[in-house]
Structures are given as C-alpha cells and as structure tokens.
Structure 1
C-alpha cells in the first residue's frame, strides 16, 4: 500500500522523505516502513538493501515464527503482534543495518504507529537498534490485554465450576478458552526465545541502556508465560474435576440400575416359571394362588430394599 520514509538529521526532529532518493546524506537515522507494500515497493526492498535473499523471501511471504538472526553487517528479526479479534499472529519484520531501520508488515501494526508517534514528539538522538527495541517493547506490552483477558475468564470459570460443575456449556467454554491459549502460547513462547537470543547477541543491544531495555521486555514475557501456564493448569483441573464428577454421577446411575436389576431378577424367575403353561400345575387351580405369588414377590422386593438400605447401597 505504501512505503513511508522517516529520517533524523543532527539536532532535528523526525522528518519525512517522499522518496528513497530524497533522504539527505547527513541523516543520522533513517526508517523505511513498508506497510502492506506493493510489488514495486517489494522490488525496492530487494534492490536498495543488501539483505539475504532468503530473509527477503521470508519477509515477503510472512514467516510463521518469531526469530532473530545476526549477520556481519545487519540484524534481522521477526516479531509478532496479536490480532485481538482472532488471536492470529501479525508479523513485523525488522532489519537494522548501519544507521538504517527497515520495517515490513502486511497488516496494520499498532506498535508501529505508536512508536512513530513517540519518535515524532521527541528530539533526542535516535538509532536503529533503540527504535527496534522500542517496537519490541510496545508489542510485548500489548500482549498483556489478551493474556489478562484469558486469566480473568479462567477465574470466572473457576467460580462457575464451584457453583455448577455439571454445566456442559461451561466445559464447552473451557475448551474454547484452551484453544485460545494455544494460539497465544504460539506467539508468546517464540518471542521469549527471540528475546533470549537477542540478550546473548553481542552486536545487538550492546549498551547498558539497551540491555536494561531487553531485560525489561524479557521480564514481561516471563510474566505472560507464567500467566498462560497457570491458566492452562487451572483449566486442566476444571476439566479433570468435571470428568470425575461426571464419572461419579454415571457410577451412581449404574449402581441404581444394577440394584433394580437384582430386585427384579427373582421376580422375573417366578413369573417365568408360572408363565410356562404346563398342563399340570396344581397350585394354579388354588383359589388364592395369584395373591400368594404376588405377596411372595412383594416380600422379596421389600426384603432386597431393606437389605440394600442396611448396606447403604441405596
């Protein structure tokens, strides 16, 4: 859609250049932002910068995983923001080379707009690595909104679980939440690995201020990871308790059905014997035989019920 170019010369605020050829030679910091770029703008990325072709292919085609690579002359990283509606990752590709910062993204990234706004309101001297870390920090801070939302929903489920364990709709929401957690973990966990790699790299973030910045971002990612882990453990417990309760209810039903079957077994035997219609069954001709058999069957049933009550099976 557009290529935006910003630069800072000595003792000036951030300026805008209309074209790659209009950036002054004395610029101390240059930011090329490729936002939803066209094919012609992609060719600028390929021709104007001496980047690895594989990295350019990953950039244009949206690599699915966050990563950081340091080359002899430049550094390349892929960050991911979170779409708050679908929890899908949105890639932000960053190159830092010399005095230049290059960002490339196929979707609107709120962190880019926010960092640009912050830079336009300051007149301090800028450098590409510091701005890249600013982008990283703002993006990670935005993870807290969906992560805290997950945490709140889990605690809500825990309360609903106590009130109504047998609610199948609750379990449907729990499984939906677990699916959302998996999406978030696929973004947060690789970003944690990326920051760990950046911390170990000697060429990126080599000043004390930048190291503190990276550690600050790392602390936030650790907190987010711990929240997601705790949320997963809590949903595991809710699911296990629900399954145990469901199993208990099923066992109770099966117990009642079994006891009823035991009660009716001798009754079925008696009715089966007198239903065989043999020609010679003298008791059938007795005037009170029907009532006697009913009484015996009733006594057997009552006897079983009393026995089961004493055994506390009912």
Structure 2
C-alpha cells in the first residue's frame, strides 16, 4: 500500500491520499509512505529510484554505513521504531530516503507512530512545512512513545515489587520481570539508534535546517539524553527484583529442606531403638520382659522429644 502526503503551497494544508501504481506521482508530494508493497508497487517504485528498492532483509543491517548514508537517490536512513504487540515490544526498522523536498519511507509492518502522525495530519494537529519536518516529527513521536514505555515500566515494577514475597504470584512475577528486561533493552536500543539518526540528520542537512527545525532537533536530542539514565535505573531495578525474587524462592526452598532435615534427625533415635528391638537374635534379655513394649515406645518418644527441644534451644527451628 502506498499513500502520499500532499502539501498545498497556497494554503499550507496537508492531505493524505492513496496512490495507485497506475497513476503518476501527485504534484506537491512531500511524503510517500510505502507499507508492505506488492510486486506491482515495487515495479512502479523502481521508476523513482536509481538504486534498488529496499528489501526487507536489507532493513535489518546494524552497521552505520548501511543505516546512514548518502547515495545517488539522496539521503538514506534506517531507523528503529518500537512496536508494542500485546505484552511484548519489538523493534521494527523503517527505511527513509530523502531527496530535495520528498521523503520516501518503506516499512514491512504497521507502525503505530506512523498511524499517529497520519492522524495528526488529517486533523491539522501538527505543523509541517517540508519533508524534513515529517522525518523530524516521526523521530519526535518515537521518543515520546519511548518515554511513555519507560513510565509504564516504572508502574509495572512497582507492582512486581509488592508481589516478590507473594507465593501465589512467583511465576507471574518472574515472567513479568523477564518481559520488562526485554522491553528495557528494546527501549535502550531505539534511543541509541534515534540519537545516531538525529546526529546524522543534523550533520547532513546542516545547510538546509532552519531555526525552527534546529530547535526541534536539539529538543529531541536533549529528551533522549534525559531518558537514557532511566533505562539504566530500570535495568538495575529489574535485576534487583530478579535477585530478590530468586533469593526469596531459595529461602523458601531452604526452609522446606530444613524441615525435612530436622524431621529426619528427630526421628533418628526412635528409628535406632526400633531397629535394635526388631533384631531376631536369640539372646536379647528385653524380649521376654513384661514391660518391654511400653518401655521401648516411651524411649522412642523421649528420644525424639529430647532431640526436638535441643534443636529449639539452639535456635535451629
């Protein structure tokens, strides 16, 4: 699917329309958004590019030379966007090509930030005057979303901290902490990638950026710098809660093992007495004793009681 964002230069109004491969590129287009293109759409897009149209596997490169470069078609940027699916978050790469006042974006997933920007455009809730404004706004919205994810992580960790000593939620707590650790890693990766992208944009478009765009760019970079320490704090908090949860679980297991160990020691003397008088030797004087049975039972109870109270006095119980 291909959609175009058109800027009316007379009214400075934005509109979004669907583009068919059978049509020519509309005039005054500043953003061409390509989402999961089919073969016909790819063939049409190839007429707009000197280089090959980006493939899905090429959008996962991590080296800087592949993610940020200047080529025959213009400036190429690969940017990582967080995508929330149920309780999981994963990073989705989105490819941008900037040529003069046209931004062409490629994506193989439905990214929520793109939907949000399109909503703002349709309802005239965003100030956009050029293709570069769209690129900067997408990065700005991404950082806002990452900030919201961090706030959600703080709230979740407050809940898990109250469940660490709750035996009925041990498994759920551990699973949630593992999910939060993965989420925090995704946030950290996206923040670093966005910072690299913004610095590349500032350097590459230095002669084109106006004062307003420069302020936006610096504000987003400052937001990233202010958010990054929170990821370290969250990571430390997650690790602490994981260690505390595992420590509590080990302590409970040790208590159970301790009970069995004490029980084994307490019943060891009675077992020994029962074993002695269970022998079938001919010469055992107590076997023919009239009071032998109750005395042996009493000795078993007394030996177990002495062992138990000895453990209590030592503080081992």
Do the structures match in fold with TM over 0.5?
Answer: yes
- Map 1:151-170 to 2 at 5 A: 151-161=154-164, 165-170=165-170
Query: What is the Cα deviation at residue 196 of structure 1?
Result: 2.8
Query: What is the Cα deviation at residue 65 of structure 1?
Result: 6.1
Does the CA contact (< 8 Å) of 2:90 and 2:186 recur in 1? no
Distance 1:275 1:299, change over 3 A: same
Secondary structure, counterpart of 2:34 in structure 1: strand
- Map 1:42-53 to 2 at 5 A: 42-50=42-50, 52-53=51-52
Partner of 1:182: 182
Moved more, 8-17 or 38-47: 8-17
Give the count of matched residue pairs. Answer: 303
Does the CA contact (< 8 Å) of 2:34 and 2:105 recur in 1? yes
Does the CA contact (< 8 Å) of 1:6 and 1:32 recur in 2? no
Aligned partners of 1:211, 1:2: CA distance in 2, in Å? 30
Query: What is the Cα deviation at residue 183 of structure 1?
Result: 4.3
1:234-261 Cα distance to aligned partner (Å, 9 max, x none)? 2322222222222223323333332332
1:138-190 Cα distance to aligned partner (Å, 9 max, x none)? 232223333322221111111233xxx04252442442342254145335414
Aligned partners of 1:128, 1:300: CA distance in 2, in Å? 89
Aligned partners of 2:245, 2:125: CA distance in 1, in Å? 55
Partner of 1:301: 304
222, 231, 234: which is aligned to 2:234?
Answer: 231
State the TM-score, normalized to the length of structure 2. 0.79
- Map 1:156-305 to 2 at 5 A: 156-161=159-164, 165-183=165-183, 185-186=185-186, 188-199=188-199, 202-204=203-205, 207=209, 208-305=211-308
Aligned partners of 2:213, 2:154: CA distance in 1, in Å? 31
Distance 1:76 1:10, change over 3 A: farther
Aligned partners of 1:167, 1:223: CA distance in 2, in Å? 37
Partner of 1:70: 69
Does the CA contact (< 8 Å) of 1:188 and 1:221 recur in 2? no
84, 102, 105: which is aligned to 1:103?
Answer: 105
Aligned partners of 1:245, 1:123: CA distance in 2, in Å? 51
The alignment's C-alpha RMSD in Å is 3.3
Distance 1:219 1:78, change over 3 A: same
Unmatched 5+ stretches in structure 2: none
Aligned partners of 1:261, 1:302: CA distance in 2, in Å? 13
Partner of 2:146: 143
Does the CA contact (< 8 Å) of 1:151 and 1:227 recur in 2? no
Distance 1:230 1:300, change over 3 A: same
1:31-85 Cα distance to aligned partner (Å, 9 max, x none)? 22223433222223222123x43xx334x55723677413156222233242353
Partner of 1:30: 30
State the TM-score, normalized to the length of structure 1. 0.79
Does the CA contact (< 8 Å) of 1:137 and 1:217 recur in 2? yes
Partner of 2:24: 20
Distance 1:194 1:110, change over 3 A: closer
Aligned partners of 1:238, 1:93: CA distance in 2, in Å? 38
Does the CA contact (< 8 Å) of 2:163 and 2:173 recur in 1? no
